[in-house]
Amino acid sequence: MYYHKQQKAAGILFIRALLGTIFFLQGYGKIFTIGLGKLYEMFFSAYELLLPKWALFTTLYFTSYVEMIAGFLLILGLFKKQAMYLLALDLLLVSIGHGIQEPIWDLQHVFPRAILLAALLLLPQHWDKWKLDKLFRPGHTSDDSKAEG
């Protein structure tokens, strides 16, 4: 089945904007709505017997700020590959944390994000036509930029 180039670009934009919004709002909520100190007490303090506090705080700050900043960059389509790789690392860290906390845990928060992120990583990059990387990084080309879609 043939899809027009605009439909492909619109599909990529939708996935990228949706995933970016989910991550951005998650990080924003952690940092500005709940607060990192309260979040630490709610979720991270239980790990103090397993891991040093510095590692827990580093993970808390890393995941919260990566979600907010990389989510925003993903919405814009700016430094998209770097943002996706950081968000993939974020999902791995969050999954490890949930797995340590509860052996059988609810995947409802991680699984949809993982599917959307995997789609963005696997779909041809040249389909993503509507992104700021094209304006602000004109010499930047993706690995498969010469492919036609």
Q: Is residue 22 part of a domain?
A: yes
Mean pLDDT of residues grouped by 10 in the chain (149 residues)? Answer: 80 98 98 97 90 95 98 97 98 88 79 96 94 80 50
pLDDT at site 140: 63
Please check whether residue 143 lies inside any domain of the structure: no
Instruction: Determine the length of the chain.
Output: 149
Is 51 inside any structural domain? yes
Structure confidence at residue 28 (pLDDT): 98
Domain assignment present for residue 145? The answer is: no
Domain that holds residue 21: 5-136
Is 142 domain-assigned? no
Domain count, the chain: 1
- The 3 state secondary structure assigned to the chain is CCCCHHHHHHHHHHHHHHHHHHHHHHHHHHHHHHCHHHHHHHHHHHHCCCCCHHHHHHHHHHHHHHHHHHHHHHHHCCCHHHHHHHHHHHHHHHHHHHHHHCCCCCCCCCHHHHHHHHHHHHCCHHHCCCCCHHHHCCCCCCCCCCCCC
Q: What is the pLDDT of residue 1?
A: 45
In this predicted structure, what is the pLDDT of residue 60?
Answer: 97
Q: Is residue 68 part of a domain?
A: yes
What is the structure's pLDDT at 148?
46
Asked if the structure places residue 65 within a domain, the reply is yes
What's the predicted TM-score (pTM) here?
0.88
